[in-house]
Structure 1
Amino acid sequence: MYKVALVDDHTLLSEAIGGLVRQFINFEVVNISVNGKEFINYLETANSDKPDVVLMDVKMPVMGGVETTKYLSKYYPDIKVLALSVEEEEGVVMQMIRSGAKGYLLKDTRKSILEQALLEVINYGFYYTNTVERIVKQTENLYEEEVVLKDREIEFIKHACTEMTYKQIAEKMFLSPKTIEGYRESVFQKLGLKNRTGLVIYAIKNNIFTP
């Protein structure tokens, strides 16, 4: 049985989602927490009931989804986070993915998609749909020939996956902002990308950056 936990401050909604998950074959819900701090407290006392996947809300009181996902990535890397939120702004999506989330679903997702997402996160390590799908498609439509990245371009990509601004990246790499802009344009052109979120996803999928 695959173990699933839910972290969401909307109790009725999380109970309803938990009920759906319990209907899936080979899935069980082992914990429902109202925020990240409560969930981490649960993990620290749980024995065999640590979840395989966590359905994580983004905005919660006490300890939100981004902070909790970062904590799990560092201390419980085997637990996969699947964001489940009403937020669909690109910046929010990017924060969760950069923090270590393996997928991002909106809360109006169909039951069948939720089940598919859980299975693919467990079996393949990631699943993106809805808002993120259009971004991921950018990384799936790369040039057919192998993309060759220079060492400094790879260094730039790693920094771009953090919360640093391009100006801060320039300072970190001891380069001018204009040179960093050149790296950005070069990398985006080589990879067929249009935005920084797509770059983060590409870097994670190709083991350039690890949350």
Structure 2
Amino acid sequence: MNYSVVIVEDHVLLSQALAGLVDGFSKFKVLYVCKNGKELVTRLKDPKNIPDIVLMDINMPIMNGIETTQHLREQYPQINVLALSVEEDEITILKMLKAGAKGYLLKDTEKSILENALIEVQETGFYHTKSVTDLLLGSLHPKKDKQTVLKEREIEFIKHACTEKTYKEIASDMCLSPKTIEGYRDSIFEKLNLKNRTGLVIYAIKHKIFTP
């Protein structure tokens, strides 16, 4: 039995190339291709068009990948979204993960990594490999994570950090100075062996501190 995949990509040549690539994977079959999120939402109204996985671009006209992923999370939670984008900045990744994406790949990724990502997203619910995590999110070391004990205020800070608030706004909400908040941030990054805020969000989701 093959898993069904829908590709949402506004560049026709790229979407066709991706469709051919995915159809070549033994466990997957492309159901159809859409040019934007609005087209996908329309087609999903027919139960026969609901796939196992959506391979989602981010920058698209009419309805972008972040908006579409949010809609799928609310209306079709059984669909796993794997983001595929040229965007590699921290804010974009953070927004996509918060919207409900189960994984994030760059468009120049290797064929074998794409296939493995599709398999992991479908069979485990998330896609995290060392190479991609190091590239996009900073290092995560699960063995250390399990041994780490976080204080109540640290957990509170992490929950705030999973929003789009600035560190100055977090300081105000926690009734602390910006300098103290910076200290919390640096201490938590060191304790959890993280490199940036997006990595912290991934940690929070993984350990159920924050639910997107």
Relative to the length of structure 1, the TM-score reads 0.89
Residue matched to 2:51: 51
Residue matched to 1:183: 184
Q: Is this contact kept in 2: 1:142–1:192, CA < 8 A?
A: no
Residue matched to 1:109: 109
Q: Is this contact kept in 2: 1:84–1:107, CA < 8 A?
A: yes
Work out the CA distance in 1 between the residues paired with 2:207 and 2:179: 27
Q: CA deviation at 1:142?
A: 5.8
For 1:1-211, what aligned pairs fall within 5 Å after superposition? 1-43=2-44, 45-128=45-128, 132-135=133-136, 138-140=139-141, 143=144, 146-211=147-212
Q: Is this contact kept in 2: 1:94–1:197, CA < 8 A?
A: yes
Work out the CA distance in 2 between the residues paired with 1:176 and 1:109: 42
- Three-state SS of the structure 2 residue aligned to 1:114 is helix
Return 5+ residue gaps in structure 2 as ranges.
Answer: none
Work out the CA distance in 2 between the residues paired with 1:204 and 1:25: 31
Q: CA deviation at 1:141?
A: 6.3
**Structure 1, 120-129 or 146-155: larger mean CA deviation:** 120-129
Q: CA deviation at 1:3?
A: 1.1
Q: CA deviation at 1:153?
A: 1.3
**Structure 1, 117-126 or 90-99: larger mean CA deviation:** 90-99
Q: CA deviation at 1:107?
A: 1.5
Specify the code of the residue in structure 1 equivalent to 2:196. Answer: N
Work out the CA distance in 1 between the residues paired with 2:61 and 2:146: 47
Return 5+ residue gaps in structure 1 as ranges.
Answer: none
Between the two proteins, the alignment pairs up a number of residues equal to 210
Q: CA deviation at 1:199?
A: 0.5
Specify the code of the residue in structure 2 equivalent to 1:175. Answer: L
Moved over 4 A (4+): none
Identical-pair percentage: 58
Q: CA deviation at 1:136?
A: 5.0
Work out the CA distance in 1 between the residues paired with 2:23 and 2:153: 48
